[in-house]
Amino acid sequence: MYRCGFKTRRLYVYNLRCVTSTGEGDDLYRDVLRIITPSTTRFAPDDWRRVINRQDAKSWLEDRLAESPVYVVKQIATSAAVGFIFLHPIPLPLELTEWRLGYILGESYWSQGLGTELMEGIIGWARQNKGVAKISCGVARENAASVKMLERNNFHLASNHSGTVFYEYPIEQAELQME
């Protein structure tokens, strides 16, 4: 399977399921409350928007963990959680995998290049994981910042359905090129 996380210049990303204890406890729910706001979930599904107290944060996190692996994104300098990524592996032919990616960054971390840096880290991490053929991501067409960030990281438009645009990034690995 995949390593438990990765680092970039300013970020550390780790899978919640890879640690027996994050040492965070209630801090993780406070992070959810701080990051999951009306602004950050403006383009997200409705069930992502109802986080107003600790119990909501706990339920939100449990729901996300039931859907796919959840990764916490932290700033290295401050150890502050700045966002989450959601990575759902989809089996493809020839024992390859597609990573379906979702992400959310706290509003106070927007416009600092962290989204671009995070995506660069995800791409690099995918290249290090044998058999990952591509990363795909769906975003609301109106979410101009996410669209721009994906395009800046060389994702290409794969399809467009009902107000959602789907982007893909093919992963070129030595073992994939030999086949």
Contact (Cβ atoms closer than 8 angstroms) between residue 133 and residue 92: yes
User: pLDDT, tens digit, for every residue of 77-132?
Assistant: 999 999 999 999 999 988 899 999 999 999 999 999 999 999 999 999 999 888 99
- pLDDT per residue over 130-155, tens digit each? 899 999 999 999 999 999 999 999 99
* Residue 176 pLDDT class (50, 70, 90 cuts): very low
Q: Under DSSP, is residue 70 helix (H, G, I), strand (E, B) or coil? A: strand
What is the three-class DSSP state of 69?
Answer: coil
The reported pTM is 0.87
Domains of the chain with CATH codes:
5-178 (3.40.630.30)
Asked whether the beta carbons of 147 and 141 are under 8 A apart, the reply is yes
